[in-house]
Amino acid sequence: MLPRPTHSLLAWRLFRPLPARKSLSNPHAALPRDAPPSLVSCRRYAFNPRRPQYNRFQAASALWRTSPSFRIGVAIGGSGVVVWVASNIEKVPVSGRWRFNCVSEGYEAKLGRMLYELEMEDLQGQLLSPSDLRHKMVGKTLARLVPNSGLHGDWEYHVVDDPDTINAFVLPGGKVFVYSGILPICENEAGLAALLGHEIAHNLCHHVQENASLPYLQSLIVGLVSIFWEDSARLTQQALNYGLELPFSRLQESEADYVGLLLMAQSCYSPEEAVRLSERMEKAGGTTIPQFFSTHPSDKNRIKRLQQWLPEAMQRQSQSDCAETNELSDQFKQALQSHMGQAVPEMVGKEDENDFNWF
């Protein structure tokens, strides 16, 4: 048997006897007592679970404890972020909700024009003629809603001939698109007013600006978290999606329901029709995903909230010119009834909002 070298690490590895067993929990037990110190240190670094390693959180914590300049930099940067966020906090019209918005109305208007051009290009040959009865009814409803919204601009409206699509939206700048597939669900002018009131409310609350501002806030949060936790950007983005982006979207939809309900009531439409429209939308919607994963509140929650807001909407309607209009309508019906000697149908004086046939 050859003598075992004691000074050469390479020779020792070639001629070392095999250990009886290896234990990952205690790797040094597998080494003979005369193992070279260099190998022992290598094994200690390779197998020791407590070995020193780079950790961004630990590095930032150490800098915070030991570096005054680092603390000063963090304080200055944090103060700047707080001032920037605070300077872009504003109150939403009508609802009074406080929100973060760092996008100007000019950018919103420019985005609206760009989206309008794209929509008109995509929908060539699919728009109903202005002489179509459905197109006229949309215009009649908007003529009552828009003046009460306080919004100005060059309003345009189009009805898309697509019976399979249930959709409607209002782009910034007053560009209205209504798909014919949603009209049968509206059933009448008041239902259409509830739909358009909701979409106009999105513009009245400038939700486009808020949505354009949200990525700035998300990037700020992701950047701050990544300072302390390495490779956390993807996980943080997913957490923000379910914890910030989707809840904000549902909040905006509920806000548009609330503002749209008040808008239609102030425009002398029956606010109860908004509840009935939501019930019809629930039946037409079929299977839906859970609210937590959706951009919209569930139909049941929307209906419940609308019912809770009805008293306020009725009060808003009684304080508007609708009260005087309804009183004159009642007087007219009473005079006509006394002259004819028979009851006058309830449809008289309600501007035919419930008798329109979409088909």
Q: Do 277 and 185 contact (CB within 8 A), yes or no?
A: yes
List alpha helices for the chain, DSSP H. 9-15, 37-47, 56-66, 68-87, 105-122, 133-149, 183-186, 189-204, 207-228, 233-240, 246-266, 272-285, 299-318, 322-340
Active site residues: 199
Give CA–CA dist 262/148, Å, rounded.
Answer: 10
Phi/psi at 325 (5° precision): -65, -45
- According to DSSP, the residues that pair with 158 across neighbouring strands are 177
CA distances from 179 to 157, 158, 186, 340 (A): 11, 8, 11, 43
Separation of CA 347 from chain center: 40
Neighbours of 191 (CB within 10 A): 28
What is the torsion angle, in degrees rounded to the nearest 10, for the CA atoms of residue 285, residue 287, residue 293 and residue 295? -10
In terms of phi and psi (left: phi > 0; alpha: psi -120 to 50; beta: otherwise), the region of 198 is: alpha
Q: Do 273 and 194 contact (CB within 8 A), yes or no?
A: yes
* Residue 353: half-sphere exposure toward Cβ, Cα within 13 Å: 21
